[in-house]
Amino acid sequence: MTVTGPGSAQDLVRAKRVLLEASGKRRLSPEALRVALADLHDFWLSSRAAAIGLTDRAALIAVGALGRRELAPYSDLDLVLLHDGRKDIDRLAEQIWYPLWDAGIGLDHSVRTPGQAVQVAATDLRAAFGLLEARHIAGDPALSDKVRHAVRQAWRAGIRSRFDEIADGAADRWAKIGDVAHRVEPDLKNGHGGLRDIQLIDALAAAQLVDRPAGDVLQARALLLDVRTELHRLAGRARDVLRAQDADEVASVLDIGDRFELARAVSGAARAVAFAVEVGLRSARAALPRRGLAALRRAPVRRPLDSGVVEHGGEVVLARDASAPRDPALVLRVAATAARTGLPVAAGTLHRLAETAPELREPWPRAALGELLSLLGAGRGMVDVVESLDRTGLWGRLFPEWGAVRDLPPRDRAHVWTVDRHLVEACSEAARLTTRVARPDLLLIGSLLHDIGKGRGGDHSVVGESLALQVGRRLGFGEPDVAVLGAVVRHHLLLPHTATRRDLDDPATVSRVVDTIDGNGLVLDLLEALAEADSLATGPGVWSPWKRTLIRDLAGRCRAVLAGEPLPVPGPPSALSAELTAAVIADDRPHVRMCAVGEPASVVVAVPDRPNSLSAAAGVLALHSLEVHAAELHTTGTVAVYEFTVSPRFGGLPDPALVRADLIRVLDGSLRLADALVRKERDYAPTSPPVESAAPPRVLWFDDEASGAVVLELRGTDRIGLLHRIAAALEGCGLDLRWARVATLGASVVDSFGVAGPGPGGRLPRADRRRVEQAVLTAAR
């Protein structure tokens, strides 16, 4: 049967398109667009319902985004058709659902009696959350009201038996998706601090366990909804993850500077939501109605934990006689106790401390510094505690310098956290390393402050040093310790940058490090531990066995210099290299050996010395899924020997015979390496960032003081076969490669090459550097 009405579903789609075009031309704000979309769908659905005879004993209700009137451009419609025994309900349902399906509109639908609706809400949390927000669209309003009232009444009555499922579900979701506040590309809907958490607060409020969301959460909801609305419009489909390549345009539409300012605003909003939902869950658990024998149990007792600090109801609270004005270390003692025990600080306690705790005098009392170190040394336990202190203004009162890095997004893809969270994560990692150093207190403070100079302009290490000196004096450290703290912050990148980008066999490399730290062995020890903590807190894959080996090797060489011991002298080629050289001379064919002693592994390749042999060897290793970390190059007569340090991208090491066979085919021209690598990258590099989001590659030049050669440093996006392409570009420019260091940082790389040019002593005239740079950049792209 054909039903006529005010318009077809295609008319609905066309009207929606007009609204999106108006929004794109900035005639509609994101909020106005959501309102207009909700009104448009309400009108079409109510008109359709009236045209098909959906009047008495049936009602159409909206749940989900349409129910909340938060409809983003490509949100699905969540609809429930209620009826009270109507015989023609299947016909009514078909005449609503089918036109929407035919128009390509996403639809989640169901048909229920009031009893069925209440029953499904009692067994399915997702359905329950939706029905709690149900909104009448068309038909019999009394039927809609009946269901809404029954669902809410059942929700309140059954909340005690369902609370654990609610809390566990939220925790599982947070663990899977991560934080909205601190992620570089956050999930605005499902992440910790996202829109689903605001719905969770609303559901707890509907159970009369907590209050409705406060003003800061409502403001956060508005921002997150606006960003999500623009993401939908830009993508032309449903999207909840704010990606870097979309952020600048979203920021422009919302009049928020650039993507970094937008990321900071989103982070602040999400932190408000995350704090509210965590406090809400704890408050709700404490407010659960007690029935049966539980109602006869005594209220929780207050268990002493530390001076002025007790546990009550599973939370850290103040003792009755505790007074922040009389006890300057109380705030930090509460925090340290919470971190040590794993118990959260009660929201009321945080707010009371925020209202009554005075500023600490300078220098801090020794007890306050001791409690700070106890907090920082608690490891993972301190992360959530610092977050709660920061949300209530207490952390900023202790460290006013924190404001510049709070919610500050990182500037490179290797970092997965905002700068403030990265500092806390690094301090947490450093807590595991305190037994390696003579001054664990300086390691913890240095880890907390190593990037404190970011967000202020200029070199963050230089700015951070001055701030670290300021903080160190305020905390009460003596001047010698303050100087060490400043040096640690100033030079926190010295060891990782040098180890992964310079030739460690060059004595000038080691001398430069020792001179930079003024020969201070304590600073060296702290920098080595901080390099590990910083890398671990940066992101997956940044701290690797290869990087650990390089940094330990560099630190060991520096200690040898400080002790007056001789540095190891690079010896002649290994016996394996000599063996392979003889084999190449004998048959004029390449030979390959692999040595898997620990991780990473070593691959030695000997080939007849001819142009493009290095790029060929590097390309074949990439073809066999080996990630190259370093390459040492030796030439003996007519044979070139390359010693590669490698790790398998996945699985184990390949068969050296297969690697050799492919290398022979490449050198004799029967295997087109470039084409094979293109196919390899297409099939096995799905995690590479889209071209439009990748930062452009960059080349830097450094002069090697000892040898007179030149160091070329490439910063770019990682790709399968990148070393092959760069080596081919350098070989094409007529340069000799003496060594290579390859550092992979997430999706980015920093590759360094020691090259010898045609000038005296291997120097590369500056006039030629531009030509080489262009060749390398072309290869990197």
- How do residues 367-377 score in pLDDT, each as one tens digit? 999 999 999 99
DSSP structure string for 209-248: SSPPP-HHHHHHHHHHHHHHHHHHHHHTS---B--HHHHH
What is the DSSP annotation of 526-547? HHHHHHHHHHHTT-TTSS-HHH
Cα separation values, 25 from 224, 252, 669, Å: 21, 12, 56
Which tokens is 108 given? 């989640």
Q: Where along the chain do its domains lie?
A: 9-160, 178-290, 323-398, 407-569, 584-780
**What counts of helices (H) and strands (E) characterise the chain?**
30, 15
Strands 601-608 and 626-636: unpaired
User: Which CATH topology does 407-569 take?
Assistant: Hypothetical protein af1432 (1.10.3210)
pLDDT at 127: 93
Query: What's the pLDDT score for residue 290?
Result: 66
CA nearest to 60, candidates 118, 136, 149: 136
Give Cα 37 to chain centroid, integer Å. Answer: 33
- pLDDT per residue as tens digits for the range 495-536: 998 988 787 878 888 999 999 999 999 999 999 999 999 999
Given a contact cutoff of 8 angstroms between Cβ atoms, the answer to whether 632 and 641 are in contact is no
Give pLDDT, residue 705.
52
Give CA angle at 464 (460, 468), nearest 5°: 170
Cβ–Cβ under 8 Å, residues 108 and 78: yes
One-letter identity of residue 574:
S
Could you say which of 3.40.50.720, 1.10.357.170, 1.25.40.10, 1.10.357.10 is the CATH number of the domain covering 9-160?
Answer: 1.10.357.170
Reported pTM: 0.79
| Tokens matching residue 506 | 């060059």
The Cα-based distances of 232 to 99, 264, 274, 345, 726 in angstroms read: 23, 20, 24, 38, 39
Q: Which residues of the chain have pLDDT under 70?
A: 1-7, 290-300, 413, 569-575, 597-599, 683-695, 704-709, 744-747, 759-762
Which amino acid is residue 409, in one-letter code? P
Question: 114-121: long-range contacts at Cβ-Cβ below 8 A with a sequence spacing of 24 or more?
Answer: 114/82, 114/84, 114/143, 114/146, 114/147, 114/150, 117/80, 117/82, 117/147, 117/150, 117/151, 118/147, 118/150, 118/151, 118/154, 121/151, 121/154, 121/155
Q: Give the tokens for residue 227.
A: 């960003």
* Rounded alpha-carbon distances, angstroms, from residue 229 to 41, 62, 68, 273: 16, 19, 14, 19
Helix or strand run (H / E) with residue 634: strand 626-636
Cα–Cα distance between 47 and 51 in angstroms, integer?
A: 6
Q: How many residues does the chain have?
A: 781
How far is it, in rounded angstroms, from Cα 345 to Cα 181? 20
715 strand-pairing partners:
698, 750
Match domain 178-290 to its CATH number in 1.20.58.340, 1.20.120.330, 3.40.718.10, 3.40.50.300: 1.20.120.330
